[in-house]
Amino acid sequence: MTRVDFYVLEPPSAAGHDRMMCRIVEKAWQQGHGVYVQCEDDAQARAFDDLLWQFQDTSFVPHALADQAIPEIRVRIGCAAVDELQPDVLVNLASAVPELASRYSRVIESAGYDDASRVAARGRYRYYQDRGFPLNTHKVGR
């Protein structure tokens, strides 16, 4: 069954949240996982794509937007999960639970960084909890 991990950033901030999510993607990639980053829309996907290139001077995470045909890339960023990529880790940056979440071995969720994103995170947590997904919470300091 899909394992769901929620990450809580203390203290919360939008910039810190984005860097935390980049570090999580980097770590999953370094461990050999295929990663799909689910975004709310194209603008968020492109912004996260840019951030992943530059979030840390000493880091390099090869990645591409989901619509780019580069088969050897294990980290993809997009707005709708794509079956043919078959990654095993889903990092959700969208406000809703992704449609194909149960197809992944692990889903990474953020607990949010402001009132609106925390309300959405609570809704996603309840969704997973109601369906019996194993849930874990991790507190991360900046």
Rounded mean pLDDT for each run of 10 residues along the chain, 142 residues in total: 96 94 97 96 96 89 89 90 75 94 95 96 98 97 75
* pLDDT at residue number 142: 65
CA torsion angle 36 39 41 43 (round to 10): -90
Residue-range domains of the chain with CATH: 3-141 (3.40.50.10110)
* pLDDT at residue number 57: 84
CA distances from 58 to 55, 118, 129 (A): 9, 31, 37
- Helix ranges (H only) for the chain are 14-30, 42-54, 115-130
* pLDDT at residue number 69: 75
* pLDDT at residue number 52: 95
Would you call 7 exposed, middle or buried from its count of C-beta atoms within 10 A (0-12, 13-18, 19+)? buried
